[in-house]
């Protein structure tokens, strides 16, 4: 039985961003087998640090690959920069069949011809000049040491048709495609070529990639057909736009995964968000990676560009935090935060974090409020204290001294002594205990604070109010 095999084929020229992380995720969701290939043919811009970072990001997201590199050390199986011998065989086959030829046109010649075509209102494409050279001319030029690129000879008057799994039936006229470069003058393979060859040789059955590659596909199909190699099916997924409607970039909210990780986003939040950009799931709750995979349906992928909204990512982040277990949340806290929380308050603090925080830096604020002595009242808080009056806090101090750690007894006594109720009871108390007007339930604040610190705050607030 044939299994679907998908792949993610990044070029390691920068950090992984939300757009390509989505391509990786959708490919991983769709494929029964998933392959990772490093397209590092641009020797100047590709860097092994980016490969290392990429592998880390993929692992962090939990996107395991069945085939691909396990480290950033380049090897001939999955790094295109090491596969020139493989490509050489196929260049040779194309040349022998007369389906590829060396091109000696200089950059200036090509530029002039491009301008002439554009000014005549024609789409710029290579006119095939070097394709008409006879073998002796070619030999003479090579002897002279002239640098040549290798061009693929595009057949005339044919159509290339394929059914795109997202965009439907596609039809391209070969006369609109000029002979194109498949090997650069420095010997490195051009994208169209090595990308298509590798997909075929590596047994990829389905290519999911950005719609910006759609117009490359007919060229790639022509190459594979010329070599008699099997072609994968293609699904060109729509681009992700930023909240300003422009393609997602650093300017409109895209961030590297690295940044998101540092801010404390959970990978599952990211996966739930990315899987739903332009793809609808019946179940609107938080899904595990496995569930996202089970219910992924390529026919649900929309054709129109979808917008990325940071609020969605935050929504999923909140969902993940709300159901995370104590150990996960504890590990998620900054080391400095962990150091502030007394051992016997761990469980209570995790409960406070789970219901009140979305990011570790918020947990840090609460740890400082609850477990350190620093709490300078803001003007707003001081006003609340003044309105409640000195007597309220003195009653609270008495009630706390009498009730110890029993919150209900404390509240009962305070109500009785102060006569305050509702907001007039809760708000000044919350202000005194936490210096804030919102946050965890009062009972939790009361129990989290060391009794001595709690009493100290109440006494201080009596002073502020008096």
Residues binding ligand GLU (CB under 6 A): 9-11, 39, 195, 207, 209, 213
Are the C-beta atoms of residues 144 and 154 closer than 8 Å to each other?
Answer: no
Least distance in Å: CB of 235 to ligand GLU? Answer: 11
Of residues 39 and 57, the one with the C-beta less far from ligand GLU: 39
Among the listed residues 372, 453, 367, 350, the one whose alpha carbon sits nearest the alpha carbon of residue 405: 453
24 vs 449, beta carbon nearer ligand GLU: 24
d(CA 119, CA 192) in angstroms, rounded, equals 27
CB-nearer residue toward ligand GLU: 207 or 277 = 207
DSSP string, 260-307: HHHHT--HHHHHHHHHTTTB--S--S---HHHHHHT--GGGB-SS-EE
Smallest distance, ligand GLU to C-beta of residue 247, A: 14
CA 303 to chain centre: 20
* CB of 39 vs ligand GLU, minimal distance in Å: 4
**Least distance from C-beta 338 to ligand GLU, angstroms?**
39
Task: Give the integer Cα–Cα distance in Å for 153 and 174.
Answer: 11
Q: Which residues contact 40 (CB under 8 A, 6 or more apart)?
A: 11, 12, 46, 51, 74, 79, 80, 81
**Shortest Å, Cβ 292 to ligand GLU:** 21
Query: Please, what is the minimum distance in Å from the beta carbon of residue 191 to ligand GLU?
Result: 7
| Contact of 413 with 340, CB cutoff 8 Å | no
The torsion angles phi and psi of 102, rounded to 5 degrees, stand at -70, 140
Nearer to ligand GLU, 195 or 272 (CB): 195
Q: Pick between residue 192 and residue 330 the one whose CB is nearest to ligand GLU.
A: 192
Q: How far is the CB of 208 from ligand GLU (least distance, A)?
A: 8
Of 222 and 464, the one with the shorter C-beta distance to ligand GLU is 222
Spell out the SS3 assignment of 211-270: HHHHHHHHHHHHHHHHHCCCCCEEEEECCEECCCCCECCHHHCCCEHHHHHHHCCCHHHH
Q: Is residue 461 classed as helix, strand or coil in its secondary structure?
A: helix
- To ligand GLU, the closest distance from the beta carbon of 209 in angstroms equals 3
308 CB-near residues (< 8 Å, 6+ apart): 18, 240, 241, 242, 243, 248, 253, 254, 277
Q: How far is the CB of 174 from ligand GLU (least distance, A)?
A: 21
The residue among 193 and 392 lying less far from ligand GLU, judged by its C-beta, is: 193
Which CB sits closer to ligand GLU, 55 or 286? 55
C-beta of 10 vs 31, nearer to ligand GLU: 10
Q: Which is nearer to ligand GLU, 213 or 417 (CB)?
A: 213
For residue 102, the cross-strand partners are 150
How near is the Cβ of 195 to ligand GLU at its closest, in Å? 5
Nearest to 414 by CA among 403, 405, 264, 336: 403
């Amino acid at each position: 039985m044939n299994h679907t095999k998908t792949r993610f084929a990044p070029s390691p020229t920068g950090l992984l961003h939300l757009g390509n992380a989505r391509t990786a995720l959708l490919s991983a969701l769709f494929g029964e087998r998933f392959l990772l290939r490093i397209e590092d043919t641009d020797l100047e811009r590709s860097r092994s640090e980016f490969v290392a970072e990429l592998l880390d990001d993929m692992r962090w997201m939990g996107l395991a690959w069945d085939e691909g590199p396990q480290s950033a050390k380049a090897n001939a199986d999955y790094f295109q920069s090491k596969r020139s011998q493989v490509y050489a065989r196929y260049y040779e086959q194309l040349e022998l069949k007369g389906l590829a030829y060396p091109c000696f046109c200089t950059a200036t010649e090509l530029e002039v011809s491009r301008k002439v075509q554009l000014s005549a209102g024609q789409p710029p494409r290579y006119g095939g000049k070097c394709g008409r050279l006879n073998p002796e001319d070619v030999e003479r030029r090579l002897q002279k040491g002239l640098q040549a690129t290798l061009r693929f000879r595009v057949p005339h008057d044919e159509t290339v048709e394929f059914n795109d799994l997202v965009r439907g039936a596609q039809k391209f006229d070969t006369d609109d495609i000029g002979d194109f470069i498949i090997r650069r003058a420095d010997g490195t393979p051009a994208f169209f070529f090595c990308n298509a060859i590798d997909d075929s040789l590596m047994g990829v059955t389905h290519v999911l990639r950005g719609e910006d590659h759609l117009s490359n596909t007919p060229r790639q199909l022509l190459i594979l057909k010329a070599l008699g190699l099997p072609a994968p099916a293609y699904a060109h997924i729509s681009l992700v736009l930023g909240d300003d409607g422009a393609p997602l970039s650093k300017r409109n909210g895209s961030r590297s995964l690295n940044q998101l990780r540092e801010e404390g986003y959970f990978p599952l939040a990211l996966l739930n968000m990315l899987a739903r950009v332009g793809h609808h799931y019946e179940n609107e709750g938080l899904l595990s990676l496995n569930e996202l995979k089970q219910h992924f349906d390529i026919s649900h992928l929309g054709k129109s560009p979808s917008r990325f909204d940071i609020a969605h990512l935050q929504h999923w982040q909140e969902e993940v935090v709300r159901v995370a277990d104590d150990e996960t949340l504890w590990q998620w806290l900054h080391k400095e935060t962990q150091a502030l929380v007394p051992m016997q308050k761990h469980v209570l603090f995790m409960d406070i974090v789970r219901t009140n925080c979305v990011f570790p830096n918020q947990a840090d604020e609460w740890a400082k409020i609850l477990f350190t002595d620093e709490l300078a009242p803001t003007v707003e808080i001081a006003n609340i204290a003044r309105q409640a009056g000195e007597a309220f806090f003195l009653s609270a101090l008495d009630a706390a001294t009498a009730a110890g750690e029993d919150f209900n007894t404390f509240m009962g006594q305070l109500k009785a002594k102060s006569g305050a109720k509702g907001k007039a009871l809760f708000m000044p108390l919350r202000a005194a205990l936490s210096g804030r007007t919102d946050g965890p339930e009062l009972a939790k604040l009361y129990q989290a604070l060391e009794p001595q610190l709690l009493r100290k705050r109440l006494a201080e607030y009596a002073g502020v109010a008096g």
